[in-house]
Each structure stands twice: as structure tokens, then as C-alpha cells.
Amino acid sequence: MGAILDMLCSTMPGAATLASVQHAPAGASEGAWWVMLIPGLPILAVLLVTGCAIVDIRGKIPAWITVGSLAAAFGVTLATYLEYSGGTAITYGFRWIDFAWGAGEGQRFVADFAFYVDSLTCLWMLFVTGLATLIALYASEYMEHDIGPNYCRFFAAFGLFVFSMACLVMGDNLVLLFLGWEGVGLCSYLLIGYFFKKDSAVQAAKKAFVMNRIGDLGLLIGIFLTFAQFGTVKYAELFELVGPYLELVREGRVGEVPVLVQIIPVLFMIGAFGKSAQLPLYVWLPDAMEGPTPVSALIHAATMVTAGVYLIARTYPLFLVSGWALPIVAWVGALTALLSATIGMAQFDIKRIMAYSTVSQLGYMFCGLAVLSSAGAAFHVFTHAFFKATLFLCCGAVMHGFAGQLDLRKLSGVMKMSGWGIVGGAMLVGCLNLAGVPGTAGYFSKDMILAESFVTPGPGYQAIGWILLITAGMTAYYTFRVFFRVFVGPEYFEPGDEHHGDDDHGHDHSHAGGHGHFHPHAPGWAINLVLAVLAVGSIAAAGAYFVDRGHHGWVGGLVHASTANYEEGSAAFLYHIDDSTEIVAPVDGADGHAEAGEHAEDAHGAHGTILGLDPHAVMYYISAVFGLGGILAAAWLHGPKGAWGLGLGSRTEAAHSRADALMDAMQPVARWAQHKWYVDEFYDFVIVRPLRVLAHAFHVIDKLLVDGLVNGVGALPRLIASRVRPLQSGELHGYAAGMAVGIAGLVLTVWIVLAGVSG
Amino acid sequence: MDSIINPYLLFVGLAVAGVGVAMAVPRKRVNPQVIGAVIAGVGLGVVLLGLALANLDAIPNLHFYVFGLIALGASLRVVTHPRPVYAALYFILSVLASCGLYVVLSAEFMAFALVIIYAGAILITYLFVIMLATQSPSEERVEVLAEYDVEGRRPVLATIASFVLLAGVTSLMFKGTAGLEPAGGDDRAAEVLVDAAREPTNTESIGVDLLLGRPGTIEIAGVILLMAMLGATVLARRQVDLEDEAKHRAAEQLAARGGLVREEVQA
Amino acid sequence: MTDLVTMAQSSWPEPMAPATLAAYLLLSGAMFAIGLVGFLTRRNLIVMFLCTELMFQAAGIALVAFSRFHLNHTGQTFVIFVLTVAAAEAALALALVVLLFRQKDSLSASVWREMKG
């Protein structure tokens, strides 16, 4: 396909001259113009859809335009992958920002609208465009109740999102990345607030936006510092400049890396935490489920939230020379994974469970990056994109079919209902992946991270490994809790109230058998097709693990070929640890783990092995045990009687299961988990309330002092005038008397003054 | 100041004079004008006497006192007389007394100019206007006194303001004149004195001073007079619409005098 | 009377003592004060203008007295201008008075209160 496009290119005179200009720095080849189509086609779709909105088209044309252009963009991405995945190519668009404030070094700021294509870019864009195409197709059916201007609005924002994501991922420099970063944030805001007449949706959109701003500030300062330190924001030049520092780290002279260089990744990390919903800033993501489900699936599960992971992977060399960034990332990721998994276990809204699961899995990805398994993190991003999209779309199908019902206590046996087979099957595939059942893609990707976290020496990385393992068990439990309760068991449902309420407690006025007049409508061909494709994709993703074994699978190979690759001994924080223990032992990273184990055994005893065995080999079993254990626990607690409950379950009604007794038994904890550990309330109390009090105080000050001053200044002349006005009576004598008294006063004053002077 | 007059004497005298003037202002019922005038005269006399006694070597000549008394008395009468015509006539008297003072001060040209212009021209104009602007007497009441002529407006307040001003000004002036050298000490003045000796008369000197020293000012004065003449002409030519009330009153007067029936006017 | 004639006709007079000037100034001030009292108390427009003339008169006396005290003619020259202004003022003001009287049929200053000047 690349060749065909090149032929097309040669017939276009303008494009030829464009291509003839050499812009690529050393080490990167000139990219073909058609790479620009990847962001170009979605933005074209946005324009066309906007046109549809203007001419007031009622129909699915906007959806078809979007699906078509996204599919084309996917095709172009595929061509790009085939053409460039081996090396680095830069496609130059135009000079975007260029200003100088002096002729000296670092006094010129340049940012091109150019696209940097390497294997990491290709990986991300492949699943972004691919999933976007499928989910747009799904949305064409899902959003059909909104056909009209709102339908156009949805697809315009959808296309804009893909465009922004392309800028984010493919940008040649940090500024273009920031453009995309803010662009996806904007689209996220627009789509969370899609049902803008619903207050909770508006609040959620605002929350997401504000939370992201906090992170974005970190990223922005990081970009500023990058420019201040390196004098450039282009990746190609940046990585060349980081090279010497990497060399220093490799030689063990970590102390010679400037502190500023070590701070930059910490700031990037804050940005990543905001966008990818990590611990201090994660609270926006569950609320973001107020948006339409396709949006939740694409933006808030598969693609946008992995932007943080992408940012770290993209600027991995910077992270490797910092002694602090990656350990912080590891701990934050692990704690986020654990915390959100515990919350997910206690929720009843299936979409929220999936949201917390996303947060949890993002924590895994960050851990993967932090334990020097960038390949594992990328692979997990890849597999997670598929199975989480699947899960969300299944939840969306349920929600679509049952009028917004999302409470797992009010749905049961959905899979047995006619027309829901594909949904149930896809759900099962997604659940198996998420739970990490042996043989699934999720199993392999999770294992890569888990194994590395045990073998990589770092501050408390062993503990992180155990936290992640426990989290894996919890993940399996809450995933299959949903499956056992909603998809199998006795057939039962209560329809929701059309516009789906996010509130778990909103439907407590349940009346048994309330489905007298309601008939759930099974998903149509588009939803079924997409779900089937995604389910197959989720299963097939496992195959990627076996493609390029030398680099831990196909994804690993792609990462290996990019700057996100970890080379032996180039991580600064390892040396910090070793400095403290006075042992210098560079630990091998992605490759030879047997040696790594040996080295680590000398150095730290338990490091490098799990129970004295090769971590990769043993992790297959350990994580399988945790995963299956979680599933069995879910089956016993929530499973229905019979085969689908694996013979363990006892549930015969929709709402009642053994878990209820357990929940009652561990009441405070369960309630806290159900209330998300009161983190929102805590933030409200610690940040929002004081700010509000402060704002009120300032409001009062403003009213009293500032307004008082201003109004006082305004009122003073009026006050004086009201006293003076009667003097202008029109009475001639009054004026004359005033004049006489004035002169007399003047003379008296002079007299008194002179008397004072002479006396 | 104390070298010229005792300030307490000055203030007390002026206060007495003020009380007198306040009493002399026309009132409706009790009208002690004569007593007021006497008191005022006593007050001012005390001050002048004090002044003379304090400076026995520099007592002004008798003419000053004669003309001064006439001028002040006439002035007081101008202010207090309820009839404008008499006020104007007393003003002429006051002007004539001032002319006497001018002559005493060796300013005979100004004295005669004042008689001609003020007493002769301006005051005649006043009299004409008074004639034009007063309501003509009816048959029953030959002499009509307008209400606004009968009663002064806030005499006490006005007197206090005026005499405080006067006290301040005089005390300041007396303080200042003590430090002033009389002419002769001044070189320029002495020169003038020498050059002008014998040859030019007072009038000639004024003419020289006026024409050589201030030609521009004379031009401006001419322009002012011209504009005043034009303005007066314009104002006087204007046809005025009587207000309803005034028409009514005029009609009433006409009816009372000429036998026109009231009803006719009403109709 | 000879004294008077002498003063007017003879050669330059002797310099005047400050105390003598003070007497003239006191006279002038008293006249001014009386004029001011009149202006403030009387309501008849014509009489009010007469009072201003009286104040002009007082100023004139003071000016001539100073002229005599300093033995130059500036003060007297100034009186000429005072006369000019007084004449102009009289012409205009009286024309106005006539005009106003014709409109309201009254010389009271209060009837023109509504002009709020």
C-alpha cells in the first residue's frame, strides 16, 4: 500500500516539492507525505460531519463518514507500519512555531508540524485507528436514538479525538504532543459532557477537565524545562542529547547527571498521572463513565488513558537517566492498581467496575514501565485496549438493551436471552483476558510485568510484585463477579430509566418483575459485528506474544526497535539503590534474565528470583493460580447454581448471593470500598471545601472592600452633592452671601496665619 | 498694627458699627433706622477717633471727616432706604462726598470725572430704569412700596459676614501699612516727583500715565464700553412676552384705573 | 477751604503718613462693608446694583488714597477703569433689569430663583 501511495505522491507536483525538502535529522529518514493522512483523514471527517450538522442531515451519514475515514486512516497506518516500523522516519508538514529572541544558542524556539514515525508510533496508531474504526461502527448503532445534530456532534468530537490522538502519538516534538494531549483532553471533556442536560455528566466533564489540568501543568513545566535544558523539543534531537547522560549512567556516574535533567521526567510523570488516571488524580476516570459507552470504551479505556503510558515510553531515555522518576511511577502504579481493584470489587454499576478496572490496569502498565519492562507495558496497553474495549462495548450493549440498566443486582442471565449470545461470548472473552486466565493475551502481558517487577532491583520492587499479584487475584474476582451475576444464572432484569443513572443507589425502589411492559432489544448487526471482531482480536492478541520470541513477542519487537527500549545498565535509579548498598551490579533488563537472576542473587539474595526459581517460568504458574483463584472465589460467591457457576455457585435469584453475607460480615470495609474509600469526599474536604471557604471569604472581601471602595468612590460625590445641592437655590442672595462669607473666611485665615507667623 | 490702632478698639468699634447697620436695615414692623444709624456712626466714630488719638501727628484734616461722614451716611441711606429713587439720590450724595475726598487727596481730575460720569451719567440711567421698572402708583395708594423693598433679607447674617470681612481686611491692612515706607524712600517715586515738579498738573500726569503707560488697557476699556452699549441695545430692543401672572396684574391695574370691567379681562 | 484749594492746586504735596492712609482705608472699608450689607439684604434688583456701585465707589476711594500715599498716578488711572467697568455694568445690568421686570412685573431677585443660576 505504501508503494501505491508513493506512486500517487509522485503524480502530485506539490507533494513532490514537499518531499524534496530535506528535514529529517541524522538517524531518521524522510517520511512520505501520506503519513499525514493519518491525522488528516479524521480531521477531514470532522469537517464533513460538521457540514452534515449544518445542512441538518438526519440519518447515519455522519457515522459512515467517520467510520470510512477512520478505516482509511487505519489502512494508512498499516501502510506506515509496513514501510517504516524498522527505523525512524519524520514527515515534515510545515514550520509551526518559530521565534527567536537572539542569535545565540538556545534562543530560538522551533516546533514543526511534523510526524515522527517509529515502531512505537506504529504500535500505538495501529490500535488507536483500528479500535476507533470498530468503535465508530459500534457507535453508529449505539447512538442511533440521538440521530440529528447531536449525532453529528458525537461523531465530530469522535473524529477530532482521533486527530488529536494522532498528533499526540505521532508528533515530532513535545509541543505537538502537547497539542494532541490537550486535544484529547478537550474531546474527552466534550464527550463526557455529551449528555449536557444531565447535571452529573456536566459535573463529571468538569471534574475530568480540572483533574487533567493539574497533570497538564506538570507536563507543560516539563516541556519548558526540556527546552531550557536541551534547547530543543524535538524527539530526534532530544534523544541524541540525552545519549551522553545515558552513557554516564551506564558507567555508573549517575551523580554527574544534572538535577534538572532528572527533574524533567518527574514533571512528565505528573502529566502522565493526570491523563492516565493514576493515584492522586484518578478520581475523574470513574466519573467519566457519564459519557456514552463507545466513548468510555475508546477514550477512557483503550486509547486516551494510555497516553500517559505512551508519554513515558516515548521519553523513556529521559526517564532512564532520572534516579527518582521510575520508582515513583512504580509505587504510584502499584498502589493505584491495588486501590482501584478494591473499589472495583465493591461496586454494583458494571460500567464503573470496568472503569476502576481500567484505572487498575493502567497502574499495571505504569509498573511495567517502571520495572524496566517497557515491552511488557506496551504489550499490556495493546492487549488491554482490545479486551477492555470489548468489555466496555458489552456493558454498553447491555445498557443499550436494558434502557440504561447497569446495576448488576438487577440483571441476570443475559446471555441466555435471545439475541444476546454474541454479547455474552464477547464478554466472556473479555473477562477471561482481564482475569488473566492462562492462554489469554491478558495473561501473557500481565505476566511480563509481574515477572519483571520481581526481578528488577529497585526501592521495594519485590513488594510491588506482591501487590500486583494480589491485585491480579482481585481483578479476576471482580471481573467474574460481573460475568456470573449479569450474564449467567436465572433470567431476570429490571429496565433502567432510559437515560442511564450512574448512581448505584438510584434504583433502590426496585419492584420485583418490573419488566412487564419492557422488552429488552437485542443488539443489531453493527454492535454484534464489532463485538465479534473485538473478541476475536482479543484472543488473537495472545498470538502476538509468540511471534517474535527474541523480543518477547511482536509488541516487544516493536518496542525494542524504538527509543522506548531499555538497554542494559542504563537506568539511573538502579545505581542509586546500589550506591546505598555499596554494590555496583548493573542488572540486565529485557533480555537474559537467567544472568540477571544470578547477578541479583549475589547482590541482594532474594532479588531476581521468585522462591528460588526463574521468574518468568514460575510466574506463569503463580499468576495463573491467583487468576483462577479469583475466578473461583467469584463463582462461589456470585455464581448461579449449575454449570455456569462452575458447580460452586448457589445463586438462584438476581439479587441475592453468598456475597451479601460476606459484605455484611466485613461491613465497614465493604461500605468504605463501595464508597470508593471516600477519596472523593476526602478531596472534597481537603481541597474543595477549603478553597470554597477561601473563595467565599474573598467574595466577602471583594464585596465589602473592593466593591465598597469602588462604590464608595462613586457614592462620595453623590453624598457631597446631596449636601451641597441645596446651596444652589437660584437665590441670588445666597450666592452673594456665600461669596462674602468665603472671602471673610479667607481673610480671617490669612490673618490667623500671619498672626501665628509674627506671633 | 498696634502702632496705628489698638486692635480691640478697632474690633469693638466695628462690632458696634455692625450692630448699628444691622438695626438700620429696613424691617416691616419695628424699624429703628435712626437709632441704628446713630449707633453705626458712634461705632465708626470710635474707631476713627481711636485712630486719630493713636497718631496725633498724622491726623487727617477736617475735610476728611466732613466728607467721610457725609459719604458714609449717604451710603447707609442708600442701603437702608426702602425707596429705590431715594436710594439712587443718596448714592449721588455719596458720590459727591467721595469726590470731596478725592480732592482732599489731590485727585481733582478724578473727582470731576466721577461727578460727571457717575453722578451725571450712570445715576441718571439708574433713575430712568427705576422710573421704567417700578409699578406706577394707583389712585388709592399714591406711593406703592413693593414688598421686596420693605423688608431686608437676613440683615444680621449679612452684617456679620460683611463686618467680619471688614475687620479682617482692616486689621490686615493696618498691619501691613506699618511696614510700608512712605513715598520718597522709593527712588522711582522720588524721580517722578523731581521730574514732574512744577511742570505737569495732576490731570496732565494722569493723561500721560494713561496714554503712555496703558494704551492697551484703554483700548480694552473702549471695547468693553462698546460691547456694553451693543448689549444694552440688544436687550432693550427685545420684545418680551409677559407671563400670565404679570399680564393678569397689568390688566388688573388697567381695569382699576381705566374702568375696564374685571369680567371682560377674565373673558 | 484754602486748605482744600492748596492741596488741589499747589505743587506736589507732602508725603502722607501711614496713619492718615489708614483713616482713608478704614473709611473705604466701612463704605464697602455697608455696600455689601446692602447687597446681601436688599431684594430690589436695582438697589442691589446700586450697592455694587457703592462698593466700586469704596474701592475707588482706596485706590486714590493709595495713589496719594505713593505719590504716583497709577491708583487714579485705575479708578478710570473702575468707572469704565461700572458704566458698562450699569448699562448692561440695567438693560437686563428692565427686561426681567417686563417679564415678571417684579424687581425682586427671588422671582428669578427658578433659573438656578
Tens of pLDDT along B63-100?
Answer: 899 999 999 999 999 998 888 888 999 999 999 999 99
Sign of the Cα torsion A391, A393, A396, A400 reads: negative
Mean pLDDT of B170-192: 55
pLDDT at A1 over 60: no
Contacts of A461 (CB under 8 A, 6+ apart): A330, A371, A453, A454
How far apart, in whole angstroms, are the C-alpha atoms of residue A587 and residue A97?
42
The percent of chain B in helix, strand and coil, each rounded to the nearest 5, is 75, 0, 25
Instruction: Lowest mean pLDDT of A196-210, B138-152, B233-247, name the range.
Output: B138-152
Interface test with C, best of B2, B46, B105 (most C CBs within 10 A): B105
Is pLDDT above 80 for A606? Answer: no
- With bands split at pLDDT 50, 70 and 90, how would you rate the model's confidence at C31? very high
Of A737, A747, A754, the CB nearest to B169: A747
CA angle B13, B17, B22 (to 5 degrees): 150
pLDDT in tens, A493-552: 887 775 443 333 334 344 444 444 567 777 888 888 999 999 998 888 888 888 777 777
Residues A150 and A57 sit within 8 Å (Cβ to Cβ) = no
- By C-alpha distance, the chain B residue nearest C111 is B148
- In C, minimum Cα distance to B73 occurs at C31
Q: In terms of CA atoms, which chain C residue is nearest residue A743?
A: C36
Within 725-754 of A, beta carbons closer than 8 Å to C belong to 728-733, 735-737, 740
Domain boundaries, chain B: 1-180
Per-residue pLDDT band at B261 (split at 50, 70, 90): very low
In this complex, do B164 and A748 lie within 8 Å of one another by their Cβ atoms? Answer: yes
Contacts of B172 in chain C (CB under 8 A): none
Overall average pLDDT of the C92-107 stretch: 84
Asked if B78 and C51 come within 8 Å (Cβ–Cβ), the reply is yes
Looking at residue A29, the DSSP 8-state letter turns out to be E
Angstrom CA distances, A592 to A150, A218, A379, A455, C35, stand at 54, 36, 19, 12, 120
Q: List Cα–Cα distances, C100 to A186, A644, B135, C94, in angstroms.
A: 77, 114, 14, 10
b (16+ CB within 10 A) / e for A536-558: ebbbebbebbeeeeebbbbbbbb
CA neighbor of B13 nearest in space, from A752, C27, C37, C54: C27
Q: Which of A583-587, A754-758, C111-115 has the highest mean pLDDT?
A: C111-115
CA distance A749 to chain C (A): 19
Maximum average pLDDT range among A68-82, A591-605, B25-39: A68-82
Whether residue C5 is predicted with pLDDT greater than 60 in this model: the reply is no
Interface of B with A (CB under 8 A): 153-154, 157-158, 161-162, 164-165, 168-169, 171-172, 175
Is the pLDDT at A579 greater than 80, yes or no? no
What's the pLDDT at A32? 82
For residue C111, pLDDT over 60 is answered with yes
Q: Which of the residue ranges A17-31, A329-343, A638-652 has the most confident prediction, judged by mean pLDDT? A: A329-343
Between A655 and A464, name the one with better pLDDT.
A464
C113 and A728 in contact by Cβ < 8 A? Answer: no
Å from B69 to nearest chain A CA?
25
C116–A contact, CB cutoff 8 A: yes
DSSP 8-state class, residue B209:
I
Q: How many Å lie between the alpha carbon of C116 and the closest alpha carbon of chain B? A: 19
Measured CA to CA in angstroms, residue A477 lies from A43, A344, A480, A625, A649 at distances of 41, 10, 5, 12, 14
Write out the E strands in A293-348. Answer: none
Stretch (H or E) spanning B75: helix B62-80
Name the band, by pLDDT with cuts 50, 70 and 90, for residue B141. Answer: low
A754 CB neighbours in chain B (<8 A) are 172, 175
> What is residue C1's predicted lDDT score, i.e. its pLDDT?
43
Name the grid cell of A758. Answer: 509674627
Asked whether the beta carbons of C10 and B120 are under 8 A apart, the reply is no
- Report whether pLDDT(B36) > 80: yes
pLDDT at A603: 39
Condensed to tens digits (0 to 9), the pLDDT of residues A186-243 reads 999 999 999 888 888 999 999 999 889 989 999 999 999 999 888 888 998 888 888 8
C103–B241 C-beta distance less than 8 A: yes
Question: What confidence category does residue A599 fall into, taking pLDDT thresholds of 50, 70 and 90?
Answer: very low
Which of B3, B156, B164, B177 is the best residue to mutate to test the A interface, defined by the most A CB atoms within 10 Å of its own CB? B164
Chain A positions touching B153 (Cβ under 8 A) are 733
Residue of C nearest to B248 (CA): C105
pLDDT tens-digit map of B147-164: 777 777 788 888 888 888
Partners of B166 on chain C (C-beta within 8 Å) are 29-30, 32-33
pLDDT tens across B100-122, in order?
999 888 888 888 888 998 888 88
Of the candidates A733, A743, A751, the beta carbon closest to that of B171 is on A751
Question: Given this model, what pLDDT does residue B89 score?
Answer: 92
Cβ-nearest to C113 among A730, A736, A740:
A730
Tell me if B81 sits within 8 A of B115, measured CB to CB: no
Residue A621 contacts by C-beta under 8 Å, 6 or more apart in sequence?
A: none
**Segment among A678-692, A711-725, B217-231, B233-247 with least mean pLDDT:** B233-247
Task: Please give the average per-residue pLDDT across C76-92, as a whole number.
Answer: 87
Q: For residue C30, list chain B residues with Cβ-Cβ distance below 8 A.
A: 17, 44, 72, 166
70-89 in C: which are within 8 Å (CB) of B? Answer: 70-74, 76-77, 79-81, 83-89
Contact between residue A425 and residue A523 where contact means Cβ atoms under 8 Å apart? no
Higher pLDDT, A202 or B238: A202
Q: Which residue does chain B place closest to A748, by CA atoms?
A: B168
Contacts of C22 in chain B (CB under 8 A): 4-5, 51, 55, 173-174, 177
* pLDDT on residue A11: 42
In 3D space, the residue among C34, A240, A413 whose CA is nearest the CA of residue B41 turns out to be C34
Give the per-residue pLDDT at B176: 54
> Which residues lie below 8 Å from residue B238, measured CB to CB, with a gap of 6+?
C99
In whole numbers, what is the pLDDT of chain B averaged over residues? 78
Distance from the B153 Cα atom to the nearest Cα atom in chain A, whole angstroms: 8
Does the beta-carbon distance from C53 to B118 stay under 8 Å?
yes
Cross-chain Cβ contact B165/A744 below 8 Å? yes
Residue C67 in contact with residue C76, Cβ under 8 Å?
yes
Quote the CA–CA distance of B208 and A352 in Å, as a whole number.
111
Q: Which of A17, A9, A11 is nearest to A37 (CA)?
A: A9
Q: What is the pLDDT of residue B249?
A: 74
Tell me how far apart the alpha carbons of residues B134 and B129 are, in angstroms, rounded to a whole number.
8
* Nearest-neighbour CA in chain B from C117: distance (Å): 19
Say which DSSP state A159 is in: H
Which amino acid would we find at residue A193? G
Residues of A in contact with C110 (CB under 8 A): 731-732
| Axis crossing angle, helix B123-133 with helix B84-104, rounded to the nearest 10 | 170
Would the CB atoms of B101 and C33 count as touching at under 8 Å? no
- DSSP, collapsed to helix, strand or coil, labels residue A54 as helix
Contacts of A751 in chain B (CB under 8 A): 168, 171-172
Chains with at least 3 CB pairs less than 8 angstroms from chain C: A, B
What is the SS3 assignment for A113?
strand
* Residue of A728, A730, A737 lying closest to C40 (CB–CB): A737
Orientation of helix A61-84 relative to helix A2-11, angle to 10° = 100
A666 vs B103, higher pLDDT: B103
| Window from A186-190, A673-677, B213-217 with minimum mean pLDDT | A673-677
Could you tell me which of A483, A302, A484, A294 has the C-alpha nearest to residue A393? A294
A150 secondary structure, DSSP code: H
Residue A640, SS3 per DSSP:
strand
Residue B182 has pLDDT above 70, yes or no: no
Cell representation of residue A651? 445463586
In B, minimum Cα distance to C40 occurs at B158
Sorted by sequence, the CB contacts under 8 Å of residue B14 that are 6+ apart come out as B43, B44, B47, B163, B166, B167, B170
pLDDT classification of B221: cutoffs 50, 70, 90:
confident
| Band (C61; pLDDT cuts 50, 70, 90) | very high
Query: For residue B206, what pLDDT band results from cuts at 50, 70 and 90?
Result: confident
Q: Is the pLDDT of residue C41 over 70?
A: yes
The pLDDT, as a whole number, for residue A167 is 92
Confidence of residue B3 (pLDDT cuts 50, 70, 90): low
| Rounded Cα distance, B234 and B250, in Å | 25
Chains linked to B by 3 or more Cβ pairs within 8 Å: A, C
Question: How far is C-alpha A265 from the chain's CA centre?
Answer: 18
pLDDT score at A156: 92
Contacts of B87 in chain C (CB under 8 A): 47, 50
Identify which of B153, B157, B172 has the shortest CB distance to residue A751. B172
For testing the chain A interface, which of B2, B10, B172 should be mutated: the one with the most A CBs within 10 Å?
A: B172
Burial letters A473-509, b for 16+ CB under 10 A, else e: bbbbbbbbbbbbbbbbbeebbbbbeeebbbebeebee
What chain C holds in terms of domains, given with CATH numbers, is: 17-106 (1.10.287.3510)
C-alpha cell at A278: 493514576
Percentage of chain B exceeding pLDDT 70: 76
Residue B264: pLDDT above 70? no
| Contact check, Cβ <8 Å, C40/B180 | no
Three cell numbers, residue B98: 467721595
Read off the pLDDT band of A582 (50, 70, 90): very low
- Residue percentage of chain A with pLDDT more than 70: 87
* Residue A254 banded pLDDT, cuts 50, 70, 90: confident
- Chains with 3+ CB–CB pairs under 8 A to A are B, C
Q: What is the pLDDT of residue A471?
A: 92
Residue B136's pLDDT band (boundaries 50, 70, 90)?
low
- Chain A residues touching B10 at Cβ < 8 A: none
- Chosen from A733, A746, A747 to mutate, greatest number of chain B CBs within 10 A: A747
In tens, the pLDDT along A168-180 reads 999 989 999 999 9
Minimum distance, in Å, between the CA of residue B195 and any CA atom of chain A: 39
Which of A129-138, A270-279, B134-143, B205-214 has the least mean pLDDT?
B134-143
Q: Which tens digit of pLDDT belongs to each residue from A294-312?
A: 888 888 888 888 999 999 9
Taking 60 as the threshold, does the pLDDT of residue A584 lie above it? no
CA distances from residue A588 to A449, A567, A578, A610, C52 in whole angstroms, order as listed: 15, 8, 14, 16, 113
CATH of B1-180, one of 1.10.1060, 1.20.120, 3.30.160, 3.30.2310: 1.20.120
A42 pLDDT exceeds 90? Answer: yes
